Structure 1
């Protein structure tokens, strides 16, 4: 809970800082003055995270009339990328592609040399559901076919500790009354490849990544985490909710974060510019192409949603720690 309080406090300060930026003050310090880098904690190619980052970088460069590049720094449950951004000056030229791992890696490994409160979220980018994919060779046609499995179900995950992957896996296993084991990978493409080759039994792939393999005869899509009545990208596939698992409705959020000690006037410029780009027709088309949903709320709504999601991770982590004793 202390980590969550620090997060809320930092986000509150960020909101105050952004609200206090006046046009006259913005002009005092030019930004950007050099190449802007977006550090992505996942591998290049294939996954919707990398695709979203690159689409945004392209449009941001046009808006700023300044070079913007994507730097992929996978590993350590996203901590490698997070630490790389922390090591750079707090001048608004190094941004962190924010995903669940910013908080989860710290929960799993408290000794990591950063605090989540050292970063402020400046803009949402998109949101996505997950789909459970399994090797067709296993012979599972429906989710119910997993019931009664007498061995552990090997499911892929990104990074270490509590994550959207481990949380969804635990909930599904409880519903099906089976045991499971998490197998870590650096990126979604690696996890999907492991399913195709039969190395693991399943993987919760983002909807965008699922689209790349849904017609592959070696893959079967069993269900996805969408809300009732919404089926934007997965026609013909039932939601977990429809299958009686209401707590499996889940969105993962993508956003941008910056070092919290970045000057408020630069954070204000960053937030306003990023949101303008995110809401552009070009980015709406990019999200549609990547099978990602628009985040329709405000940046403050996004911060609240991320904080709410973090509460879920914190509760899962505490429950896991209790069970391990």
Structure 2
């Protein structure tokens, strides 16, 4: 078991015996199903389990994590769309599924504006660029020089999902620094990091919470971060803006969504419960400890952030020449 998995499992506090409970459990009125579009053991799953455990008291009923991994959250989003709008099914996700997927997949099977309603947000975060311990680079400039020494300046960079923020960043890095970089998609950050730790791939892009513990342990090295400022947990890692690559200053977000038509009374009750949980010192400390900027957002605030982020990425995607597949 690698270091980040140990750290993330410390966050996985919510009903471990019920994580794989049958769907009827949540739909029978005896609990709330919290969909997660990524596998158990990853950063998003661990965050969901922490919040699920803490939400039970203010909501007065169990909250059960239901992992539906695949396609960068697309499968879980389609499950949410088809779920009854009765307050029994929610979806915890980050920006990729809500803001990016609908712009890069021709037929994603859901429309966030038409099919979902925000229930509340709880954090923002940044993505970062890291290399394996076997790579000789200690700085991003050294990484560029190292790639240039490879055959035809060619190298692979792991990404947690295809047509994602990390993939567009790989393309932008390649253009800016005149490198031949191949974005290698994985089904989530966990298998990508496993290959980086095994020196099967020399570099990868993911969230700070994905890389932080292995960076601290010296098993991976974070060389740069996205966003408009350096991260307090990674003070030596410059932003890509500092390195001369502009346009990646907007920060991704984490939010929770419900099917369109979910009663307003439930959404209000849930939003209040989420605000109460996010204000808990131990929750804030655990989320901050894995690289999240903890920030409660009302449904309206989450919707505004989602729209602004989607608009920023619409420009980036258009400029890249990407054609929805």
Give the TM-score of the pair, scaled to structure 2.
0.80
Alpha-carbon spacing, 1:244–1:318, altered in 2? closer, same or farther (3 Å): closer
Question: Any conservation in 1 of the 2:156–2:181 contact (CA below 8 Å)?
Answer: yes
Across the two proteins, how many residue pairs are aligned to each other? 290
- Across the aligned residues of Structure 1 and Structure 2, the Cα RMSD in angstroms comes to 2.4
**1:83 matches 2:78:** yes
Gaps of 5+ in 1: 1-31
Distance 1:232 1:217 in 2: 18
Aligned to 2:19: none
| SS of aligned partner of 1:42 | coil
**1:143 matches 2:140:** yes
**1:256 matches 2:253:** no
In the alignment, which of 116, 120, 123 is matched to residue 117 of structure 2? 120
> Where do 1:159-174 residues align within 5 Å?
159-161=161-163, 163-174=164-175
Question: Any conservation in 2 of the 1:52–1:290 contact (CA below 8 Å)?
Answer: no
**1:55 matches 2:22:** no
Deviation string, structure 1 residues 94-134 (Cα, Å, up to 9, x no partner)? 11112122343333322232212211111112111122111
Distance 1:277 1:318 in 2: 38
**1:43 matches 2:39:** yes
Aligned to 1:27: none
Question: Any conservation in 1 of the 2:89–2:258 contact (CA below 8 Å)?
Answer: yes
Aligned to 1:293: 293
Aligned to 2:11: none
Question: Any conservation in 2 of the 1:108–1:160 contact (CA below 8 Å)?
Answer: no
Aligned to 2:156: 154
Distance 2:135 2:33 in 1: 43
Q: Deviation at 1:271?
A: 2.3
Distance 2:51 2:323 in 1: 41
Q: Deviation at 1:299?
A: 4.2
Q: Deviation at 1:216?
A: 4.3
Question: Any conservation in 1 of the 2:168–2:317 contact (CA below 8 Å)?
Answer: no
Higher relative contact order (CA 8 A, sep 6+): 1
Deviation string, structure 1 residues 288-310 (Cα, Å, up to 9, x no partner)? 23331112665433322221111
In the alignment, which of 44, 56, 60 is matched to residue 65 of structure 1? 60
Aligned to 2:312: 312
Distance 1:181 1:164 in 2: 14
Give the TM-score of the pair, scaled to structure 1.
0.80
Distance 1:103 1:248 in 2: 15
In the alignment, which of 99, 104, 110 is matched to residue 100 of structure 2? 104
Aligned to 2:278: 278
Gaps of 5+ in 2: 1-27
Alpha-carbon spacing, 1:92–1:152, altered in 2? closer, same or farther (3 Å): farther
Distance 1:285 1:185 in 2: 29
| SS of aligned partner of 1:44 | coil
Distance 1:253 1:152 in 2: 32
